[in-house]
Structure 1
Amino acid sequence: MENNLIKTTIEDHVALITFDAPPVNAQSTAFMEELIAVFDELNATKGVRAIVMTGNGKCFSAGADIKSRSKQSDWAPGETYRHLRRAREVGFVIMEMNIPVIAAVNGPALGAGMGLAICSDIIVASKNAVFGLPEIDIGLMGGVRHTMRVFPIGLTRRMVLTGYRVPAEELYRRGLIEACVEPDELMETAMDMARTMASKSPTAIRLAKRALNTVETMGLKDGYRFEQNLTVEMSGTADSKEAMAAFLEKRPAVFSDD
């Protein structure tokens, strides 16, 4: 995989993705295409069981590359629609991963940058982090639907209509992110969580991700039935037998990546 704007390392079954597009990790076309490619490849990489993504420097991601957007009138015919498709897929490639994704938000996560965090499974943040949708101040629209999926309607409306930047501590107080820690504790907090996930059955994690992604938009009965069917599917696997044996024998389970 290319590691120009998106740096990737893998250790102990955990992939660490670091946005590296100084100064603010703005999302240019090259950034989005590389990020999509990295996530697609990690989704198919044997041995990767959890992912942590963060930003290099003081910013997680300031969102869209406004300098390139200002030249939109010079784009070739159809490029606007190709750009919008890329922008959608950057979020969905994270959401649709078979592997859990933790966003370790080290600084401002704005606009499309906040979108990357919102599309992850779990958000942990530094006390330096803020979350915002500044589109109304720069002549753009966007972010409403993804934000409303996670944040309360009132807070979403305030962010969209006023450009309010929410401190990470407020989001943690509201129960909307899973941790808000000192800056020097952020990566260890995220990596500890990722290593815990990586210790679980890879098969169970994949099925759990499928359940989480699917039942969100289903009714109660249909959603529960879907989960029950996944339980039946899981019970016939080698990982299920190993997990039960380890529980009964009071020992750590040992799972393969096959």
Structure 2
Amino acid sequence: MGVSTSAPQKGVAVVTVDFPPVNALPVRGWYELAAAVRAAGSDPEVRCVVLTAEGRGFNAGVDIKEMQRTEGHGALIGANRGCFEAFAAVYECEVPVVAAVHGFCLGGGIGLAGNADAIVASDDATFGLPELDRGALGAATHLARLVPQHLMRTLYYTSRTATAEELHRHGSVWRVVPRAELRSAALELADEIAAKDGHLIRLAKAAINGIDPVDVRRSYRFEQGFTFEANLSGVADRVRDTFGTHTSGTSGTDTSGTDKEQRA
């Protein structure tokens, strides 16, 4: 359990997240993920990083139960800072990052996938921000990188999800493949990227980030301010407590109903 890094082929590092049962990451998990991605990207032998996960889904966000059982705002601050670091690590990785997404990609998962350079998804993957149902805010910055503006707003306000095929039609998902083929499809794309000159691919990544029309770090940090306001006002606890009465999971999603979620 945790975050691990492997090197299945030349020039490619695979960072794998495994926090059963649903990859809802505790505070330490976000920092571990950030460190692993930064380390992989700084390795001169690596030209592409694949971000993947074990288990039932790619990522279910933060561990809400950790917040509920922690006195004060320590867990909230830790989760916000951890997410900020993990998202930034993916975006700022010195080499391109390919996200291999399966199952549910919710909350913090959107921050990871939205900051990746390319996404390969299994045909059972769904993407969404159920934040308003869980007493949180944030990651609209990253959802806006995956879908057009008005669809982003509709998904955000309703907590609905979009399928991998829908995102493929919008151009944000490179390929949609059967789940059994996800790893090989992601590695195939990573291998094609890794075939480029290592120095040049790093220059390309820096150049593309430099012309990005949105400063994702500043934009996401702005959103986080409203998360703190929601918590200080008490509304976040009220919504989270309601959520807790309807699910026994430790995550930002009720995984028993993940596949039953309304889809946009």
Q: Match of 1:104, as an amino acid?
A: A
Q: CA deviation at 1:121?
A: 0.3
User: Per the alignment, in what secondary structure is the counterpart of residue 151 of structure 1?
Assistant: coil
For 1:186 and 1:217, the matched residues in 2 are separated by 30
- Say if 1:64 and 1:113, in contact at 8 Å, map to a contact too: no
Question: Counterpart in 2 of 1:17?
Answer: 15
Aligned pair 1:185/2:181, yes or no? yes
User: Per the alignment, in what secondary structure is the counterpart of residue 13 of structure 2?
Assistant: strand
Q: CA deviation at 1:80?
A: 4.2
For 1:80 and 1:129, the matched residues in 2 are separated by 28
Question: Counterpart in 1 of 2:59?
Answer: 61
Instruction: Summarize the alignment of residues 73-222 of structure 1 with structure 2, pairs less than 5 Å apart.
Output: 73-76=71-74, 80-217=76-213
Question: Counterpart in 1 of 2:251?
Answer: none
Q: Match of 2:63, as an amino acid?
A: D
Q: CA deviation at 1:83?
A: 3.7
Mark the runs of 5 or more structure 2 residues left unpaired by the alignment: 215-264
Mark the runs of 5 or more structure 1 residues left unpaired by the alignment: 219-258
Instruction: Give the percent of matched residue pairs that are identical in Structure 1 and Structure 2.
Output: 37
Q: CA deviation at 1:72?
A: 4.8
User: Per the alignment, in what secondary structure is the counterpart of residue 74 of structure 1?
Assistant: coil
For 2:172 and 2:196, the matched residues in 1 are separated by 25
From 19, 31, 34, give the equivalent of 1:33: 31
Q: Match of 2:19, as an amino acid?
A: A
Q: CA deviation at 1:170?
A: 1.2
Aligned residues: 213
Q: CA deviation at 1:174?
A: 2.3
For 2:44 and 2:200, the matched residues in 1 are separated by 15
Question: Which is greater in Rg?
Answer: 1
For 1:89 and 1:58, the matched residues in 2 are separated by 24
CA distances 1:204-235 after superposition (whole Å, capped 9, x unpaired): 100100111001139xxxxxxxxxxxxxxxxx
Question: Counterpart in 1 of 2:44?
Answer: 46
For 2:145 and 2:163, the matched residues in 1 are separated by 19
For 1:75 and 1:208, the matched residues in 2 are separated by 40
Higher RCO (Cα < 8 Å, 6 or more apart): 2
TM-score of the two chains, using structure 1 as the length reference? 0.78
The CA RMSD measured in Å over matched residues stands at: 1.6
TM-score of the two chains, using structure 2 as the length reference? 0.77
